[in-house]
Structure 1
Amino acid sequence: MAANAEAIVQIVEHTLATLQIAEAELTVRFSDISEVQALNREYRGKDRPTNVLSFPFADTLPEGVELDVPLLGDIVICVPVVADEAHAQNKSFTQHLTHLVVHGTLHLLGYDHINDDEAEVMEALEIQLLGELGLPNPYVHQHLPDSRSE
C-alpha cells in the first residue's frame, strides 16, 4: 500500500470498519522533529521526539458536554522518526507508517498500552488489522528502546 492521502484514508476506514464504527472524523497530520518534540514535551512531559502522538477529541471537552459530530481527534506522525525507525527495523517506510496510522487510530478509540494487559489487547488488534491489510506482525522483531508509540 502506498503512503498517500487515499491510502491513509483506507487504513483508517479499515480500522474503524473492523471495530464496527460506522461514522467518525479524525485528522492525520504529518510533522517534523521540532514540532512533534514540542507537542510531546507540552502534552506528555517528554522532551524528545516520538513517532506518533494521538489527541482524542473527547479529552478536550468539558465534562458533560457531548457533540453530535463523531470527532475522534488528531493523530500527529513525525515523518523523520518513522523513516529512521523503519530503516532500523528493516521495514519499508510505508509498512511502518501503516502500522502507526492503525496504532494512532486505536489510541483515539481508547486503546492503550500503559500496562501489559492493555498492551496485549492493543498489539493483538494491531497484528490482526495489519494482517488484513497484507502486512506482517510488527512485533515479531525486537522493539527498539522505547519504540512503543504513544
Structure 2
Amino acid sequence: MTKGPIRLDVAVGYAVPRKGIPAAVSFRKWIAAALAGRIREADLAVRIVGAKEGRSFNHHYRGKDYATNVLSFPAELPEGLPKGVKLPMLGDLVLCAPVVAREAREQGKTLAAHYAHLTVHGTLHLLGWDHEDAREAECMEQLEREILAGLGLPDPYIER
C-alpha cells in the first residue's frame, strides 16, 4: 500500500446538461478515495455522456449495442501514448447519465450515491481490478463497500 497524499489530476467533461449530475469536485473525491493507498499519483478523465454516445462507446469497444452505466479505458503503455503525454496517465471513465439515473431510481438509491459507486467501480477497473469470475467479483465488491463506507455511503449491493 502507498502511504501519504496522492497527486491527482481529474478532468471532468459534461456532454449532457449538468442538472442533477454531481459536480467535478465530487468525482475527484470519489476517485481519490478509490486510489488512496493504492497509487501515488494519477491523471484521468471522466466524461458524462447521453444515451446515444454511451451506446456508441459500448458498441465500438465492447461489441454490445446498448448504453451501459460506466466504461473504463485504462491508459496504454507509455509507447502507445501520444508524444508529450507521460504516465501517471491512468485512463478514462465514461458514465452514461440516463442509465445511471434509471438504475438509481430502480435500485432505490440516491443519484449521488450511485454515481459515487460507479465512479469507484470504474476507477478500480483502471487499476486492474475485475469481476470476470465469482471470486474476483466478491473481492472487488468488498473493496467497493469499504471505499464507499469510508465516504459515509451505504453498501451499494444491498437491495433496497
Q: TM-score range by the shorter chain?
A: 0.7 to 0.9
3-state SS of 1:58 partner? coil
Q: Residue 76 of structure 1 aligns with which residue?
A: 94
Instruction: Establish whether residue 10 from structure 1 lines up as the match of residue 62 from structure 2.
Output: no
Which one of the candidate residues 112, 116, 120 is aligned to 2:130?
112
Pairing 1:30–2:40 present: no
Equivalent residue letter for 1:52: V
Q: What's the counterpart of residue 114 of structure 2?
A: 96
How far is the alpha carbon of 1:4 from its aligned partner? 1.0
Q: Choose between structure 1 and 2: higher helix proportion.
A: 1
Change (3 A) 1:129 1:51: same
**Structure 2, unpaired ranges of 5+:** 1-20
Q: Which runs of 4+ in 1 moved over 2 A?
A: 58-62
TM-score between both structures, scaled by the size of structure 1: 0.85
1:13 maps to amino acid: A
Contact 2:43 2:89 in 1 (8 A): yes
Q: Structure 2 CA distance, aligned partners of 1:78 and 1:47?
A: 14
Structure 1 unaligned regions, length at least 5: 143-150
Query: What's the RMSD between the two structures over aligned residues?
Result: 1.8
TM-score by length of structure 2 reads 0.80
User: In the alignment, is the contact (CA less than 8 A) between 2:100 and 2:114 conserved in 1?
Assistant: yes
Identity of matched residues, %: 48
Aligned counterpart for 1:131 among listed residues 134, 137, 149: 149
